[in-house]
Chains A and B, each alone.
Chain A
Amino acid sequence: MVKSRKNWALIFIAPSLLYLALFQLYPVLYAVYISFHKYDLMSPPQFVGISNYIRLASDEQFLRSLWVTAFYVFWTIVPVIGLSFILGGLLSTLNRSRGVWRVLLYLPSILPFVSVALVWKIMFNQRGPINDALNTVGVASIPWLTNSAYAPWALIFMSWWHATSYYTIIFLAGFLTLPRDCFEAARLDGAGLLQTIRHITIPLMKPTIVLVVVLATVNGLKAFVFQQVLTDGGPANATQILTILIYKTAFSYLDMGRASTYSIVLFGGIMALGLIQIWLISGRRDA
């Protein structure tokens, strides 16, 4: 009986396993394989051992991209998590109008990435509405997308708008599941707002915070469309995050070996960061 149930279980999960193996596991393993080869898509891969990995240390484009990626991810996730947490908390206190606010806040997340990026490209244009608004208050136009000092920030500002919408909804869901009696008990014990947040809200919200931190980091590291559409990694590589470099190396320069090596590094980085974050935020403190 047990054996028969196991067989049925295997039959039911087989399509999912097959899907995962074909479309998730196989590409990852193939990328690892290609990273040890020189491969231009047109001719058969040529084994080069670990030379692609050794060259990373002297590859200035890669090192620069790593820094650009780290800068972008840090300045995207830290403010976004704070802002989303506050907005999620505030939304949870609303009753009647919560639905309307929830829809409005979630709108940026459901719009197609490319359309959103094109709209922002127009907004950041030298003669776009953002500079028009600055001009009307006496501030000179800012070369948002054509200057290395401003372009990374233009993308970061845009990502705040886009990512906050998504994580606010996750935080809101977390806030709505918190037990009310803890807060009532804290209020009766005379706890202030900051004390309540520190000792009750944050510990209770820990699973949601872990989820958001990990998701935001992974999504930040995997960002591509906004950089591709708004700046294509420029000016002077100021916004060339790792994914853009991977894309160009693979499809413009036809160097799949090098591109796969970058991808494996990015993959390893995402996995390591995710595990460290989970360990730091939940595991270590629980231990």
Chain B
Amino acid sequence: MRSLKARNWVFAASLAALGLSSSLANAVELKIWHHTYPPAEEFIKKKAAEYTKLHPDVTFQFQSDPHGDYEVKLLAAIAAGEAPDLINVLDYLYPKFVSKGILAEADLPAMGVKSNEELEALYSPGALKGLMIDNKIYGLPEELNTFALFMNKEHFAEAGIDITDKANWPKTWDDLFVLAKKVQKKDEAGNFERLGFNWVWGLDGFWYAMEYWPILNQYGCKVLDDAGKAAINSPECVAAFTDTWQRVVTDGIGGPDYATVNPVNALQDFSDGRQSMMMAGIWSPPLFGEDVKQNYVVAPIPQKDPANPKTLLYNYSMTVTAASKNQPEAWNFLRFLTSDGDGYLRNTGYVTGLKDWEKSDAAKDTIGAEIFADQLQYGSYYWRSLTWNEEGKAIKDAIEQFAQGTSVQEALDQAAKQIDFVRSQQ
């Protein structure tokens, strides 16, 4: 009897040990890396907690860094064999990342779909295009975006302009600069108290590209020609930058000397009410100060030819690394996370690009959602290149040069030379 009891104890203990070891064997910790954007960080953590409730064996570790540093740290971690499972990657990096074997191809069964077509059908047209290489999908959109023009209602009211009236919205770049001068404010000494409009300054090349890419398209400017040579110094590109970017400086509307440079909130001047108009994405309102939060209007960005609009399309995606040992689980979580389009829009301002997102309740509650939805259809993705970072940096350097007096042609000639040099190294 006694030995039977002891045997039962041993059996129970073995079972418990077996259960524990099997549970430990199934335990997965997914590491998520994201660029710094506090509303997204909070939302992802919340969704991760929900996922852990549904799948107790899966836990998460989250890390974020400001945009520029983020990519550098990410690449260093991947190279060191410390790749996170889930990462946040911009679409223009896909060619480079896929060519280096950093990204895993989408695990369709893990996401509950059978084919690429089935997955694409869940999204707005073109939403996954920027995340595909050779017809293979490598990520899901977290932030499908275009840029629109944000205008501070109160500033315009002060200047006697009802900016809620669409008739007063700037249709062309000329209209924008005229409005900027009307709404700007200077003190007695001629120093700016408030800027009418300004570009972003002092940030990384991608930030500049978000603002110049639609302009380049409007002017028929290409960064690279069909043979892969730099074309950024073509007459079309010179005209694009001269008529728009440089004009802000030469007309005394804005420029680097008046911009607050903050990599964590690139829109600081508008957010704090020191600037009346800016170009930004639908994600920007959570960053606005209290005075600006409910006090703005969203309009389409100005055009060279309003009858033939051209805008930006970009995708800050979430994807799984090829080095992840938990790929099915990571893709499963990714689908769970990004399928909450309403939650994303409400909490972070991100549009995940799911089909009919613009008809959701969250979109109806979002100022300007209909403008973004409309503008997305005219958007195009950035040029594709394995050396995008260096090319983007060369163009950024050119902009900073002509903003300080160098001729646009000379600055773009230098950029073209640099781009060709970089591409010749490949």
Contact = CB atoms under 8 A, between A and B. Distances in A.
B226 interface: no
A64 to B, nearest CB: 10
A42 B417 contact: no
A132 to B, nearest CB: 12
B191 A253 contact: no
B257 A60 contact: no
A162 B259 CA distance: 27
Contacts, number: 85
Given A60-B421, A236-B397, A236-B404, A41 B75 contact: yes
Q: In the complex, which of the residues A58, A125, A253, A255 has the most CB atoms of chain B within 10 Å of its own CB atom?
A: A253
Contacts of B260: 125-127
Interface in B392-422: 393, 397-398, 400-401, 403-404, 414, 417-418, 421-422
A60 B425 contact: no
Interface residues of A, number: 34
Interface in A57-99: 58-61
Q: In the complex, which of the residues B72, B201, B421, B425 has the most CB atoms of chain A within 10 Å of its own CB atom?
A: B425
A92 B256 CA distance: 46
Contacts of B387: 253
B389 A145 contact: no
A40 B100 CA distance: 8
Given A235-B404, A252-B72, A126 B100 contact: no
Contact of A42 (B101, B189, B256): B101
B105 to A, nearest CB: 17
A221 to B, nearest CB: 22
Interface in A125-144: 125-127, 140-141, 143
A252 B256 contact: no
Contacts of B397: 234, 236-237
Contacts of B227: none
A258 interface: yes
Contacts of A258: 425
Given A140-B191, A146-B261, A252-B390, 16 more contacts: A61-B418, A126-B260, A146-B256, A147-B256, A148-B400, A149-B404, A231-B202, A234-B400, A235-B202, A235-B403, A237-B397, A251-B72, A252-B72, A252-B75, A253-B422, A258-B425
Interface of A: 40-43, 55, 58-61, 125-127, 140-141, 143, 145-149, 231-232, 234-237, 247-248, 251-255, 258
5 closest A-B pairs by beta carbon, nearest first, are A41-B79, A143-B257, A236-B400, A146-B256, A42-B100
